[in-house]
Amino acid sequence: MAFENLLRPGYINRMYMRNRLIVGPMEKSLANLDGSLNRRYIAYARRRAEGGAALIQLESTYVSPEGRGNPYQVGCHGDHVIPALTEMADELHRHGAKLAMELHHGGRQASVTAHHRRPIAPSAIGSTFMDPGSLPREMTLADIRRVIDDFRRAAERCLTAGVDMIHLHGAHGYLLGQFLSPRSNHRTDHYGGPLENRARFALEVLAAVREVVGDQYPIGYRISASEYVEGGLEAEESALFAARLVDAGIDLMDVSGGTYESMSKIFQGPEAPKGGFVAEAALIREAVGDRVPVSVAQRMNDPVFADQVMEQEGFEYVTLARAFHADPDYVRKLIEDRAAEILPCIGCNTCVNLTVARTPAGCSANPLSVHEVSRSTSTKAVAPLRVMVVGGGVAGMHAARFLGLAGHDVTLYERVGRLGGQLHYLRRALADYGTLVDWLELEMVKVGVAVELGRTVEVEDVSAADPDVVIVATGARGGYLWADGSDHTMPLFDIFSALERPTDQWEETVAILGGDHAACVVALYLRRLGVGVHIVASGPSLAADGEFNGLLVEMELDADPGVHVHRETTAELLTGNRVAIQTLGNRSWLEVGAVVIGGRVSRNRLADELLRSDLRAAIHPIGDALRARDLYTAGQEAAEVAEKVNLMLLPTSVRE
């Protein structure tokens, strides 16, 4: 059997697992404001159960109001959550999956705007990532006893609701990890100092939960094997702690890493290598021996790689969060020998962006993720329409796929000789982006979309074809040079031509004019080639259009000594091999070998001309053909236009 390590059944304590794949906990901003579950969240989890997942962990679930990190986070802090939690458990059981709740307290990483209280922590030491105005209060012994009791009572609610497993969230710099870490725990009582004392709080929480659930009920622990910050927890000490957890009765070690202060480790992007925490998990494996199973998380979404790692390192389970977010049928496709059809997570962290923005955490790869209830794109057409899709980027291919699945007669036109649009270029810098292009290309064949490459479409072509619907997904091109550049000898590139340039032809130093997210991705790409980079950004921050993911990119660029960032700066003149820049009225010069112009401009000419024409076809511009934006928006508008086209076939009375 292919993927034997991933697909064989197993046990955690006495809980049967139909395979070795765990849906990892991932906040999604889907819960009600009172922390309870709702129809939308249950539908999301049910799809992953239908797709074959063995164990579904929902997300970090706060046990105390002041431990909350998001207004739309799942809670287990009151009895009012039990009815919907019971419904969730029943639904997952109906489809053969188990339900785990990851009990959590944010400590100093809780959000004051979510709970409107001052945070509490082992010591009055703020996180450098959080708002400096939310300095935590050091917990008293009474606070410690109360929070331990909150974990205990949350465990009781889980039992009442029929939850199969409890997970304790000791990773990512939350309260359990804050007590363990010498960086955040400066206490001088028996909860601080040596490892034995710093481990006490977590062990007491475990003991309280174990007292509630009994010896035969599975309890897991998620640990940051290393915090990747100065003075923080290191893997060697985490391994010692893991052994103590096993002595105290833990049933599963789930290995992750990082804190909010090393956020790029928690949310590793498409440039990161596979198996982000395999080495750290191997240390935990060695420390606990074969006494309990070990699961490894982070960049394990390639099933071939994951199966090999399990074989080589002896891990019993693999925890996947974003991979299941992208494809709920991940396991089913492995079982049916359809691994090539798995819709890949591309590591773009759009889901994180949206969660941080307190918006339902959709997916750039899968426009239907978290829209399981509200969106229907594949209802079979009673009378198929003839659809022209102009543009073979992500927006165009998603739209063509949805309409092909619905049974419409779809032809996709692409002006160049290959599909992929902007991702064709970006895959040079972010390899995982290319896997989405590859998947969509396969889907064009699978759903019967006719593809015509090397075809430029004008209004006359649309008139001659006489379709019912035209979807304009012509995308965007590189930006404009806003400086005087008439007297220079340097080669100029936009972000796309820069990514196409042979890697051995780059000069020693390059100026990038523009601090948008795509320009910063090019900067990271050039740094991997060893090129020195100057970024000239007109605003106070970099990659702001990338939202939270842009912040991770900005942090990486700021930490790189080979990158010189000129904020609140404009480029005025290019002459010879120099760029004149102005920062708050002060002019200076950069000597560089080449210039990359950031930004993107919508290719909207065809859409404008079609909308002004008198053609009978319904015209729908989507994605960057409307305005240059992001990958997530492209997918969402593709799904929305598919719904609109399907609605065209319904009588007016039904639509209303």
Domain ranges of the chain: 4-356, 386-473+622-655, 478-601
Map residue 223 onto helix, strand or coil.
Answer: strand
Fold topology of 478-601: FAD/NAD(P)-binding domain (3.50.50)
Backbone angles phi, psi at 232, to 5 degrees: -90, -175
Quote the CA–CA distance of 317 and 285 in Å, as a whole number.
Answer: 12
> Where does 447-488 have alpha helices with state H?
459-465
Map residue 310 onto helix, strand or coil.
Answer: helix
Domain pair 386-473+622-655 / 478-601, same fold: no
Quote the CA–CA distance of 313 and 67 in Å, as a whole number.
Answer: 35
Return the pLDDT at 548: 86
Quote the CA–CA distance of 578 and 568 in Å, as a whole number.
Answer: 19
Query: pLDDT tens for residues 514-554?
Result: 999 999 999 999 999 999 999 999 999 999 999 888 988 99
Q: Which residues of 94-133 are buried (b: 16+ CB within 10 A; e: fewer)?
A: ebebbbbbbbbbbbbbbbbebbeeebbbbbebbbeebeee
Return the pLDDT at 36: 99
Return the pLDDT at 650: 58
Q: Please name which of 24, 146, 163, 22 lies closest in space to residue 81, comparing C-alpha atoms.
A: 163
Backbone angles phi, psi at 283, to 5 degrees: -65, -40
Quote the CA–CA distance of 405 and 446 in Å, as a whole number.
Answer: 9
Which helix (H) or strand (E) covers residue 571, if one does? Answer: strand 569-576
Could you give the angle at which helices 39-50 and 82-94 cross, rounded to 10 degrees?
A: 20
- Residues of the chain predicted below pLDDT 70: 1, 131-133, 377-378, 650-656
Q: Please name which of 56, 59, 61 lies closest in space to residue 89, comparing C-alpha atoms.
A: 56
SS (HEC) of 180-194:
HCCCCCCCCCCCCCC
Backbone angles phi, psi at 285, to 5 degrees: -55, -45
Q: Does the domain made of 386-473+622-655 have the CATH classification 3.40.50.720?
A: yes
Quote the CA–CA distance of 142 and 603 in Å, as a whole number.
Answer: 62
Full-model pTM? 0.95
Query: pLDDT tens for residues 18-68?
Result: 999 999 999 999 999 999 999 999 999 999 999 999 999 999 999 999 999
573 exposure class (CB count in 10 Å sphere: 0-12, 13-18, 19+): middle
Structure-block tokens of residue 10 = 């197993």
Backbone angles phi, psi at 169, to 5 degrees: -90, 95
Fold topology of 4-356: TIM Barrel (3.20.20)
DSSP annotation of 117 reads: S
Contacts of 31 (CB under 8 A, 6+ apart): 37, 38, 41, 72, 73, 74, 75
Which helix (H) or strand (E) covers residue 76, if one does? Answer: none
Q: Is the dihedral of CA 181, 182, 183, 189 positive or negative?
A: positive
Q: Which residues of 630-652 are buried (b: 16+ CB within 10 A; e: fewer)?
A: bbbbbbbbbbbbbeebbeebeee
Backbone angles phi, psi at 108, to 5 degrees: -70, -10
Q: Given the structure tokens 């991940």, which residue do they identify?
A: 330
Contact, 256 vs 299, CB < 8 A?
no
Quote the CA–CA distance of 411 and 242 in Å, as a whole number.
Answer: 57
Quote the CA–CA distance of 32 and 39 in Å, as a whole number.
Answer: 10
Which helix (H) or strand (E) covers residue 218, if one does? Answer: none
Map residue 602 onto helix, strand or coil.
Answer: strand
Return the pLDDT at 486: 78
Work out whether strand 409-414 and strand 386-390 pair parallel, antiparallel, or are unpaired: parallel
Beta strands (DSSP E) in 489-546 are 492-494, 509-513, 532-536
Return the pLDDT at 176: 99
